[in-house]
Amino acid sequence: MSEQDFYYTIESTGVNEVKERGSKFIAYAYPIKNSDEFKERMNEIKKEHSKATHYCFAYRLGLDGNNFRVSDAGEPSGTAGRPILGQIDSKKLVNVLVIVVRYFGGTLLGVPGLISAYKSAAALVLQTVPMVQKNVEEEFKIEFDYTMMSEIMNIIKQNNCRIIQQELQLFCVMKIAVPKRISEEIIYKIKDLKNAEIIKA
């Protein structure tokens, strides 16, 4: 099985704290699906830590590797966002956001000190959250006669497909997510049924 059949993410949130020469670095890890969820999380953090000096973050979304963002949030360039993203990437995680909130403690840490603090804060928080392996999925639309319902449901259940939406009347329409590695098999099984059609959604 190729790596593209699976991806790794997190499904729960985590928090951890690192102290470095008086400065406090509080790291949060969140599962997110889009940049709107990132904005919501960031607003929550800023409300909760309204007296913090920096809100640095990194996230990576989607499977193509191109959708990511990093921010040093006023720290010297390259000392916060990149080290945080480095920790997300070292675990090959996607759809993950890490925000590190800093309370300045009065002592300047310098560039190597900041890189080290943000890197360890991100690494530690990611250790507190279990990694989850997920199937890379493709979406399909199935149209079928109501009489075929039990056969269709059997195929869906036996192959770990997910129902995204469904309209069940005399003639049914269902949108499903299928593990990519078996999508050809599923197409074949459904096309083999009477009164059933499957197309890529």
Domains of the chain: 3-133 (3.30.230.30), 136-200 (3.30.70.240)
To 10 degrees, what angle do helices 149-158 and 183-191 make? 170
pLDDT digits (tens, 9 = 90+) for 60-112: 999 888 999 999 999 999 999 999 999 999 999 999 999 999 999 988 999 99
CB atoms < 10 A from the CB of 56, how many? 27
Name which of 45, 46, 54 is nearest 24 in CA terms.
54
Indicate the length of the chain as a whole number. Answer: 201
- The tokens of 10 are what? 């997190």
Confidence (pTM):
0.83
Report pLDDT digits (tens) over 107-158: 899 999 999 999 999 999 999 999 999 999 999 999 999 999 999 999 999 9
